[in-house]
């Protein structure tokens, strides 16, 4: 046998087991945990697109185990526990309640979060060195809720009273939300009243009725509350409303101001990619959102009899007509 043939034979025999193992390798299992609000379709689309750009094809390289609480935050602990029982390779948690549910469910499985204020709520020990099994992205949600209060000053110059609706089922972030919104109110000479905390969707109707009764000119609500229901109630009460998720304005709410959701959702894929190739979450710095967008639904403004100043419309990243 010629030497080069022998080398080729040995090389082929050596490589063959690796080829077989590659063919037999099971796709990674990505657990996804969501509340179930209007941003979910965009989240799923952008996460998959981000993974595709990184060379990971769904069905071939990974499968997604998707779990939604359908707006009922009390379901999140069991859904997170279910993902742990499935032994997924990584959990992606959208918004603070999902992040806490995942954190409480496991200390071993890596978790990629997209959270309003991961440092302020204690999800991570620092942005540079998150520690434990968590990394991900900060949506800067507390600050942007405050910005919604400021924007109402520009949209409604004669309004000096803005109501807040907080979510008791999301208490840790509710504290940051209320602090930032009240700080923004002080900075714009707006009275923040009434401040209403709801314990579930069944209390939302009464919350809006209270805001109207106490003559609030606008309402800013915590983003973990049910998007569709908030749109319905704001329209029914003809009350200008805003929050930080784009899906609120897209589905009929008046205004949203927050981090660019699609950009962050796609960026989350990079964190998943790093984890799946063996990097430790504790050593992957948390990134903060750097791009924010203002979306105004002009059709809704007309429906509630509101004229949006031209200057504010010019500042909007998107005007929905």
Name the residue with higher pLDDT: 171 or 2.
171
What pLDDT does residue 180 have?
Answer: 96
DSSP state at residue 105: H
Q: Rounded to an integer, what distance in angstroms lies between the CA atom of residue 38 and that of residue 249?
A: 10
Q: Has residue 292 got a pLDDT over 90? A: yes
CATH architecture assignment, domain 141-259+293-320 = 3-Layer(aba) Sandwich (3.40)
Q: Has residue 12 got a pLDDT over 90? A: no
Residue count (the chain): 321
Q: Rounded to an integer, what distance in angstroms lies between the CA atom of residue 140 and that of residue 260?
A: 11
Fold: same for 23-138+260-290 and 141-259+293-320: yes
Q: Has residue 13 got a pLDDT over 90? A: no
Residue 7, burial from CB neighbour count under 10 angstroms (0-12, 13-18, 19+): exposed
Q: What is the greatest pairwise CA distance in the chain?
A: 95
Nearest to 66 by CA among 100, 43, 96: 43
Q: Rounded to an integer, what distance in angstroms lies between the CA atom of residue 223 and that of residue 148?
A: 12
How is 200-260 classified by DSSP, letter by letter?
A: SGGGHHHHHHHHHHTT-SEEEE-TTS-HHHHHHHHHHTT--EEES-HHHHHTT-SEEEEE-
What pLDDT does residue 166 have?
Answer: 98
- Its CATH class, for the domain covering 23-138+260-290, is alpha beta
Nearest to 37 by CA among 297, 180, 230: 230
Q: What percent of the chain is predicted at pLDDT more than 90? A: 89
Distances (CA, A) of 319 to 205, 207, 256, 301: 28, 28, 11, 11
Per-residue pLDDT band for 39 (boundaries 50, 70, 90) equals: confident
Going by DSSP bridges, is the β-strand pair 255-259/287-288 parallel, antiparallel, or unpaired? unpaired
Q: Rounded to an integer, what distance in angstroms lies between the CA atom of residue 1 and that of residue 210?
A: 91
Please give the backbone phi and psi of residue 22, each rounded to the nearest 5 degrees, phi first: -65, -40
Q: Has residue 21 got a pLDDT over 60? A: no
Query: Among 60-64, 69-73, 86-90, 210-214, which stretch is predicted with the lowest mean pLDDT?
Result: 69-73
Q: Rounded to an integer, what distance in angstroms lies between the CA atom of residue 278 and that of residue 273?
A: 9
What does pTM read for this prediction? 0.88
Nearest to 65 by CA among 52, 47, 50: 47
What pLDDT does residue 25 have?
Answer: 75
Average pLDDT over the chain, rounded to whole? 92
CB 111 within 8 A of CB 183: no
Domains of the chain: which residue ranges? 23-138+260-290, 141-259+293-320
DSSP-assigned beta bridge partners for residue 289? none
How is 59-92 classified by DSSP, letter by letter?
A: TTTEEEEEEE-TT-GGGHHHHHHHHHHTT-SEEE
Residues 155-185 pLDDT 10s: 999 998 999 999 999 999 999 999 999 999 9
């Amino acid at each position: 046998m010629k030497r080069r043939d022998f080398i080729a034979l040995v090389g082929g025999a050596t490589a063959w087991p690796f080829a077989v193992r590659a063919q037999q390798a099971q796709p990674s299992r990505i657990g996804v945990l969501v509340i179930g609000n209007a941003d979910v379709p965009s989240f799923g689309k952008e996460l998959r697109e981000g993974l595709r750009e990184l060379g990971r094809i769904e069905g071939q390289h990974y499968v997604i185990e998707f779990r939604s609480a359908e707006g009922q935050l009390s379901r999140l602990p069991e859904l997170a526990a279910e993902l742990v029982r499935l032994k997924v390779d990584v959990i992606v948690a959208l918004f603070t309640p999902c992040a806490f549910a995942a954190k409480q469910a496991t200390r071993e499985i890596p978790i990629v979060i997209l959270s309003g204020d991961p440092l302020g709520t204690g999800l991570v020990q620092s942005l540079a060195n998150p520690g434990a099994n968590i990394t991900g992205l900060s949506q800067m949600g507390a600050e942007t809720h405050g910005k919604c209060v400021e924007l109402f000053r520009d949209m409604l110059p004669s309004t000096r009273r803005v109501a807040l609706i907080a979510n008791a089922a999301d208490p840790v972030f509710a504290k940051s939300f209320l602090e930032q919104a009240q700080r923004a109110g002080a900075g714009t000479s707006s009275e923040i009243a009434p401040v209403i905390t709801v314990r579930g969707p069944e209390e939302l109707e009464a919350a809006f009725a209270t805001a109207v009764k106490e003559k609030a000119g606008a309402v800013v609500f915590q983003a973990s509350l049910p998007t569709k229901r908030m749109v319905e109630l704001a329209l029914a009460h003809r009350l200008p409303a805003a929050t930080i998720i784009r899906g609120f304005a897209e589905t009929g709410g008046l205004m949203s101001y927050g981090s660019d959701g699609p950009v962050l959702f796609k960026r989350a894929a990079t964190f998943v990619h790093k984890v799946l190739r063996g990097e430790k979450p504790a050593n992957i710095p948390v990134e903060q959102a750097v791009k924010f967008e203002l979306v105004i639904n002009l059709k809704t403004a007309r429906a509630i009899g509101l004229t949006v100043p031209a200057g504010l419309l010019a500042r909007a990243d998107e005007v929905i007509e």
